[in-house]
Amino acid sequence: MSATSAPVETKHDLLTGTEWNPAQLREFFRLAAEIKAHPDRYCTVLAGRVLTLIFEKPSLRTRMTFEVGIANLGGTAIFLDHTSTRLGEREPIRDIARNLERWVQGIVARVFKQKALEELARNANIPVINALSDRFHPCQALADFFTLQERFGALSGLKLAYVGDGNNMCHSLLTIGARVGADVRVATPEGYEPEEKIVAAASRVARETGGKIEILRSPEEAVAGVQAVYTDVWASMGQEAEAAERERAFADYQVDEALFSQAARDAVFLHCLPAHRGLEVTGGVIDSPRSIIYDQAENRLHVQKAVLHTLLT
């Protein structure tokens, strides 16, 4: 797809990852691959456009890849630091949204609560992109499956095991995985499962795409024979007070060499980062040649450029 080709038809925002159907996702991944292969063809698609980045949480990969991506596409990014003051505390979110839509052409928001993101989207007549919320992390999951497509060539039927907390990352892997026809297995202890509504919605889509969604207790059952093993931190930002309790709950869910050895011989390890070596994953696994964590991080840039191209051109 060239820079002048019609963009993927999509809804106005990217809030959950459910906005695109399977055919649109396939087209989106083709666009991301084209942008990665030929970045010079896309260096002016956001010329004259300004986007604001509103971040309630600290960030390395998300902030850098969006700021670099916007610049690479010829646009300008303005960062609004809300790590000390939450959205809505100083003035209503609806007023923030209605002001921003008068000045900029898009909002990238990294927030504690999905409802804050949705309030921005309801009140801003410009694209709003979820750069992480408590329920979803769609840009990361899009980059993850794009990375797996690069590695294995096809996503339909690919087996991915997610071992750990049923958190925002888990929700997005289920949501996007179902749409690409993957077999997504989640192993998590009792009480830490992904939301039932998100699992049910992903399962409905998977039945249509030939994918499969499984929620399991046993990490060994989940990992057996899969091409990709994924984990995330046990205590996300905002859950620091639960860290000790969560370490006890997840003690049997560490991705170590013994567990990883039960995956397919060509299996790869993924993590959205930052990682805690010695907790959710051992150093021997995350720093091994079969770890593709830095490929994931690089592809955040290319995939987010494709998101920006899709929503703003």
Is 110 one of the annotated active-site residues of the chain? yes
Q: Which of 105, 114, 140, 296 is catalytic?
A: 140
Length of the chain as a residue count: 313
22 preceded by cis ω (within 30°)? no
| Residue 43 a catalytic site member | no
* Options 300, 302, 304, 309, the catalytic residue: 300
User: Which of 26, 149, 232, 309 is flagged as catalytic?
Assistant: 232
> Which entry of 61, 110, 135, 179 is annotated as an active-site residue?
110
What are the structure tokens assigned to 150, written together?
Answer: 């690069």
Residue 137 annotated as catalytic: yes
Active site residue 272: yes
One of 26, 149, 272, 296 is an active-site residue; which one?
A: 272
- Angle CA 117–123–127, to nearest 5: 65
DSSP the chain: --TTSPPPP--S-BSSS-SS-HHHHHHHHHHHHHHHH-GGGGTTTTTT-EEEEEESS--SHHHHHHHHHHHHTT-EEEEEE-SSS-TTTSS-HHHHHHHHHHH-SEEEEE-S-HHHHHHHHHH-SS-EEES--SS--HHHHHHHHHHHHHHHS--TT-EEEEES--SHHHHHHHHHHHHTT-EEEEE--TT-PPPHHHHHHHHHHHHHHT-EEEEES-HHHHHTT-SEEEE--SS-TT-GGGHHHHHHHTGGG-B-HHHHTTS-TT-EEEE-S---BTTTB-HHHHTSTTB-HHHHHHHHHHHHHHHHHHHH-
State the catalytic residue, choosing from 26, 61, 135, 137: 137
Copy the structure tokens of residue 58.
């600290």
The verdict on whether 140 is a catalytic residue reads yes
Establish whether 149 is a catalytic residue: no
* Active site amino acids: 110, 137, 140, 232, 272, 300
